């Protein structure tokens, strides 16, 4: 029997976990990916054990947290803050919508317990969060964004399960869909005289992905 693909593995994990699964980790480690050292991303508890809800699908790849050895955990910068783990921040609009917003469904429930949002970068250059500030505003997100550039340990990390991603996961989980619908229906609701909203896509070039 052949080894299941990364998509199969991610689908299995998502099927086995609750759509609204959240793990709160004390003294959590966040390890960003590094192309230079071939270091993979990981989110771990104080003992170095991987956090299951941090499994991340991004750009047709699946990132599985790994065990973090005692050596890797030693000497890591410590941040006294509490954060919501949000996965990768993608400057590309399609990936930003489909993956960078994927854990914000838990924001409302935990916003009074956090100091900010933690994102991993997709490139060496730090993204400009102001580019999509209007989207964050519409979603009611008011906390600052922290980009993790090197391994970091923080006092508390809230890790929601990813709510939407590439492939079979593109339709999203119910909590994510409800969150997006609730927020955007407030600014995109039809008038009393209208029954439907029509979205014109003539100006949108339907290249690979083609996500509306």
> DSSP state, 166?
S
Give counts: helices (H), strands (E), the chain: 6, 8
Give the pLDDT band (50/70/90) at residue 20: confident
Stretch 90-115: mean pLDDT: 93
* Least confident piece of the model among 57-66, 73-82, 131-140, 141-150: 57-66
Q: Using the 8-state DSSP alphabet, how is residue 39 labeled?
A: B
> pLDDT for 118-163, tens place per residue?
999 877 778 888 999 999 999 999 999 999 989 999 999 999 999 9
Contact between 211 and 95 (Cβ < 8 Å): no
Residue with the two structure tokens 């083609």: 210
Alpha-carbon gap, residue 40 to 143, rounded angstroms: 27
**Average pLDDT over every residue of 20-32:** 95
Q: Which of 76-85, 116-125, 184-193 has the lowest mean pLDDT?
A: 184-193
- For the full predicted model, state whether its pTM sits above 0.85: no
CB neighbourhood size of 49 (10 A): 14
| Average pLDDT value for residue range 44-50 | 97
Q: Residue 84 in 3-state DSSP?
A: strand
Alpha-carbon separation of residue 67 from 41, 76, 84, 190 (angstroms): 11, 15, 21, 50
Q: Are 88 and 117 in contact (CB under 8 A)?
A: no
Report the mean per-residue pLDDT for the chain.
83
- Cα angle 16, 22, 25 (rounded to 5 degrees) comes to 120
The secondary element (H helix, E strand) that includes residue 11 is: helix 6-16
Give the helix, strand, coil percentages of the chain, each rounded to 5: 30, 25, 45
């Amino acid at each position: 029997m052949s080894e299941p693909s990364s998509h199969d593995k991610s689908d299995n994990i998502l099927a086995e976990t609750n759509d609204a699964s959240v793990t709160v980790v004390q003294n959590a480690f966040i390890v960003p990916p590094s192309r230079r050292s071939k270091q993979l991303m990981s989110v771990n508890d104080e003992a170095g054990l991987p956090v299951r809800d941090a499994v991340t699908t991004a750009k047709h790849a699946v990132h599985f947290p790994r065990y973090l050895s005692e050596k890797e955990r030693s000497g890591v910068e410590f941040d006294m803050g509490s954060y919501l783990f949000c996965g990768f921040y993608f400057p590309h609009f399609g990936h930003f919508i489909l993956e960078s917003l994927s854990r914000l469904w838990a924001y409302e429930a935990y916003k009074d317990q956090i100091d900010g949002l933690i994102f991993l970068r997709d490139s060496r250059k730090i993204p400009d969060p102001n580019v999509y500030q209007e989207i964050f505003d519409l979603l009611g997100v008011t906390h600052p964004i922290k980009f993790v550039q090197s391994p970091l340990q923080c006092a508390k990390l809230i890790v929601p399960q990813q709510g939407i991603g590439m492939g079979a996961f593109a339709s999203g989980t119910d909590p994510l869909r409800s969150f997006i619908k609730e927020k955007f229906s407030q600014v995109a609701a039809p008038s009393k005289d209208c029954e439907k909203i029509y979205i014109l896509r003539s100006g949108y070039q339907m290249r690979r992905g083609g996500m509306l």
